[in-house]
Amino acid sequence: MNNYDNPVQAEWHPNEWVTPPFEWELKESDIDSEMCKKCTATDLHCCQQAIFLAGPLNPRLYELISTMIENIPELHIRDNGEIILTCSHLKKGQCDIYETRPQICKDFNCVAHTKVQGHLEIYNKVLKIKKENS
Ligand code: SF4
Ligand code: SF4
């Protein structure tokens, strides 16, 4: 048994990384179409990619970039300067090319991914959704 199987509460800390021992409250099987629909209704999910990390932006540059992308619905800017691309196939929380979506989309499970990658940001958001709906 490795340390990841030992119990510790997962709290809502957006940028926290896993420090063993840690109990995985979410299981891979918790991720289904209903969970994904709730998840994609908010920011921060797997159908988004950070396409440009500009670092801390000064207010003028932030205003400029915000203005440049304000008519591109698939793009938005986070406070930290990340420009986020939301997949254009995500429509009302669902993938409109579900059967022919890219292989990486078919393979992806955010719980399994977190167990490998260790970054809790999306995991904790999904855990919060689960708790709010249980
Ligand atoms: S991050 Fe997880 S819950 Fe959210 S859409 Fe992706 S697979 Fe579904
Ligand atoms: S193709 Fe579908 S599953 Fe893949 S990122 Fe776009 S909306 Fe999400």
Question: Do residues 78 and 110 share a domain?
Answer: no
Question: Do residues 2 and 19 share a domain?
Answer: yes
Question: Do residues 124 and 114 share a domain?
Answer: yes
Question: Do residues 37 and 59 share a domain?
Answer: no
CB 127, CB 10: distance < 8 Å: yes
The residue to which tokens 């999910």 are assigned = 45
- Residues having CB closer than 6 A to ligand 1 are 31, 35-36, 39-40, 45-46, 108, 110, 122, 126
CB 93, CB 33: distance < 8 Å: no
Domain of 123, in residue numbers: 1-46+88-134
Atom of ligand 2 minimally distant from the CA of 90: 7
Question: Do residues 72 and 122 share a domain?
Answer: no
Q: What is the pLDDT of residue 123?
A: 92
User: How do 48-53 and 82-86 pair as beta strands?
Assistant: antiparallel
Question: Do residues 94 and 40 share a domain?
Answer: yes
CB 111, CB 16: distance < 8 Å: no
Q: What is the pLDDT of residue 65?
A: 87
User: How do 94-95 and 75-77 pair as beta strands?
Assistant: unpaired
CA–CA separation, 88 and 73 (whole Å): 9
Question: Do residues 81 and 92 share a domain?
Answer: no
Split into its structural domains, the chain has a count of 2
Between the CA of 23 and the centroid of ligand 1 the distance, in Å, is 19
Q: What is the pLDDT of residue 112?
A: 95
Probe target for ligand 1 pocket from 95, 119, 126, 129, with the most ligand atoms within 8 Å of CB: 126
pLDDT tens for the chain, 134 residues long, are 333 443 344 444 555 666 666 788 999 999 999 999 999 998 899 999 988 766 677 888 888 889 999 999 999 988 878 889 999 999 988 999 999 999 999 999 999 999 888 888 899 999 999 999 98
Q: What is the pLDDT of residue 14?
A: 52
